[in-house]
Structure 1
Amino acid sequence: MFTIEHEFDATVVTLVDDGSAPLQEDVIVHATESAILLNQYDARNDRTVSITLSPEQWRDLVAALNLPEGVYRAK
């Protein structure tokens, strides 16, 4: 399951793990023109872990999810 919210300067997508146990914490994706920020709470360390991707890295990641094993370069 996921939700999508459009804010003033970003689109926020929340990915909820509704699969079988053990379930993972929600992943929150903040997408702006200049960066994609992924956040997930880490209960072991009691903090939120973040990773920032450029729009190009995000594009490549999305494309990679539908491709077979190999090395690719986006045009």
Structure 2
Amino acid sequence: MFSIEHEFDSTVVTLVDEGAAHLQEDISINLFEDCITIEQLDPRTETVQKITLSLSQAEDLAAALDLPEGVYRIDRDDK
């Protein structure tokens, strides 16, 4: 299950882990104009862990989901 909310300066996507045992904490993905942040509560420390991706890193991640094992570089000369 997931939700999408539009905030003042970002779009927030929340991923909820549904299913059998060993569920993970919810993940919040904040899409800003210049970066994307991914946040998840660490239940061991009760702190929120945050990762920030540049837009080019996010594009690389999206491309990697459809590619076989290997090393790749996306040609960004067109942008």
TM-score by length of 1: 0.94
The whole-number CA distance in structure 2 between the counterparts of 1:65 and 1:19 is: 23
Q: 1:19 to 1:63 in 2, by over 3 A?
A: farther
The whole-number CA distance in structure 1 between the counterparts of 2:62 and 2:46 is: 29
Aligned to 1:30: 30
Secondary structure at the aligned position of 2:71 is classed as coil
- Give unpaired runs (5+ residues) of structure 2: none
User: What percent of counterpart residues are identical?
Assistant: 57
* Pairs aligned (count): 75
RMSD of aligned alpha carbons: 0.9
* 1:35-61 CA distance string (max 9 Å, x none): 101000001011100010001101111
Aligned to 2:5: 5
Letter in 2 for 1:30: N
The whole-number CA distance in structure 1 between the counterparts of 2:46 and 2:39 is: 13
1:19 to partner: Cα distance: 2.9
- Give unpaired runs (5+ residues) of structure 1: none
Q: Select the structure of larger CA radius of gyration.
A: 2
TM-score by length of 2: 0.89
